[in-house]
Amino acid sequence: MSSITAALYGALIVYLGGWFLGHWTGNFSLLLFLLTLVTLVYWVAERLRFKPAREAAAATLEQQDAARRAELARMGIAKVDGDLSEARARLLMQPWWLDWTAGLFPVILVVFLLRSFLFEPFKIPSGSMIPTLLVGDLILVNKFHYGVRLPVINKKIVDNNAVKRGDVMVFRYPVDPRLDYIKRVVALPGDEVSYQNQKLSINGQPVAGESKGDYYDEESLRYTPRFTEKLGDVEHSILVDPKRQAYYGPDPKTFPMNENCRYTAEGMTCKVPAGHYFVMGDNRDNSQDSRFWGFVPDENIVGRAFFVWMNFGNLGRIGPFH
């Protein structure tokens, strides 16, 4: 068993190393699920086989020692040297391959359950959600807000709150579901969303907002016009730079149900299909979002982001956000 365990740990190190070096994209949910299963097998084997075997060996040693002492006593030898405590402790001790598998199962199980059904941490890797979220923010995502989903396959089994306009949502990137993206929900199923000349409209109604001066981005060392925007009940800040307006081009985009969208040089208009959502970054001119790669299907939803729990470069960032 020690050689099998060493091989498993070797495979884990290779997988994590290749992931860290960028040779492939890892799937942490699947990895955590497999670790839970493997350590569970070791934990059950420890409880049903290995631990009873060690205890039986220790009991046999004690019986043999008791028999030896009884035989010596019959021979008139009352004082017998020898202390079994060390030998017994060695027999009962878990070998390393059980200590590093069965011994880790309770911890891995708790992490798996918390991450799969309650809260999952994420790190903001890009500036697409500035000024709401900054690069380096460590955030928490509520996994049960929109319903309970099975881990790995992301199948919803229990409904909860409906997705609302203005929610900051984490989801599996439709182009490559191995990646997680974070954007703000702009339009719901059945909505007609239009983004023309950097102005957002939902169902023909311009989204309310007002100028709030310039925002200084410490990453790019530049000022960008800042506005407030209200989607549903959520008022939040966005950045819109007239000098960096995106060019959409006259050709239709190629993504599922792209026939629901019309593109011009000024922008786009889309009818959101059933079971899908239209999302955008708050940094409107520096965000790859539904304008470019299409709609987010409901089955891709991971959860609702709601709290910055750490930013090592700016502790003042800690707290809830909208």
Task: State the catalytic residues.
Answer: 128, 183
> What does the block give as tokens for 244?
């960096």
d(CA 230, CA 71): 90
d(CA 239, CA 131): 7
Could you tell me the end-to-end alpha-carbon distance of the chain, in angstroms, rounded to an integer? 51
For 23, 89, 99, 172, 284, the CA distances from 152, given in Å and listed in that order, are: 22, 41, 27, 11, 31
Is there a contact between 82 and 120 (Cβ–Cβ < 8 Å)?
no
CA angle, corner 85, sides to 84 and 90, nearest 5? Answer: 100
- Beta 199-202 vs 205-206: how paired, if at all? antiparallel
The letter for the amino acid at 90 is R
**Residues 6 or more apart whose Cβ sits within 8 Å of residue 144:** 117, 118, 160, 303
Side-chain half-sphere of 10: how many Cα atoms within 13 Å?
6
Side-chain half-sphere of 84: how many Cα atoms within 13 Å?
16
Closest alpha carbon to 244 in 200, 214, 286: 286
d(CA 203, CA 28): 39
